[in-house]
Chain A
Amino acid sequence: MMGKGILIEGLKKRYGSGDTAVDALKGVNMQVAPGEVVGLVGPSGSGKSTLLKALGAVIEPTGGRMTLGGEVIYDNGWKVKDLRALRRDKIGFIFQAPYLIPFLDVTDNVALLPMLAGIPNAEARKRAVELFKALDVEPRAKAMPSQLSGGEQQRVAIARGLVNRPPVILADEPTAPLDSERALAVIRMLNDMARKFETAIIVVTHDEKIIPTFKRIYHIRDGVTYEEAGEGRSFD
């Protein structure tokens, strides 16, 4: 099982100090259950990226509490020593652009993560191929990233985010470069994967095409989040 989603309570982040200090996050609260996909929307400068980086354990918050898969990872200070291992094992990342490693084939782009975690190469590749079946890119398993279409690359990136079966996936504007049809296909895929692998997925977006598909949306403005029920519109 993939854990118990993500719980964020009163998360704060302050940049600088004294008169020049900026409070990017002023007490963010979020909860995403396993198998759920929520949207995180907000204008530029609202704190979206800061929140994403704090959730991704690449910047340190200045207060609050974060629980990931049932484990408290931050409580007014990091509670885990190895943030690199935390990112590798507990958090999946999907970026605006796929950012696949150009000198690795599709399989190894995905299998690299379990390999980094010490899983034998054959087992890591097997995991990757299983995901390719679910994401319908298995025939392209031996191709190089440059030989894939944009949609195929994004599906491989999704597979990379899922391959270590993390309790949470952070997707940073994953549909930005895609047209409506492909954008909706990606969101549908994320929903399917979230359900199948019981992963909590947070999709940061300001893509009007996909916002109506979320059942729950977190708006962030001036470092504070507001929850809103989404339309949860069907993909058909």
Chain B
Amino acid sequence: MKIDVGYVAELARLELTDEEKSVFQPQLENIVKYVEKISEVDVEGVEPMMHGRTLVNAFREDVVRPSLAVETALANAPKRVGDEFLLPKIVEGAES
């Protein structure tokens, strides 16, 4: 199985150097080749298992309760302005 590592990394929003690509390429192909072992298993009519233990309708009371204070939530922000996270310009023509 040939994997386009550059393309998949882009999907994952991960910039890779050329060196990383050439190291990862054979490693990932090797792993994919290994996991393809599961194609041998007959899974006809078998339900998929989503979780270690499936609970249905885990409800709690719908009551208002305190959440993180704005200052606390912003304390780890790489950049902030006032009560907001500061980001590079995203929309053409908008102020950054």
Q: Report if A and B associate in a common complex.
A: no
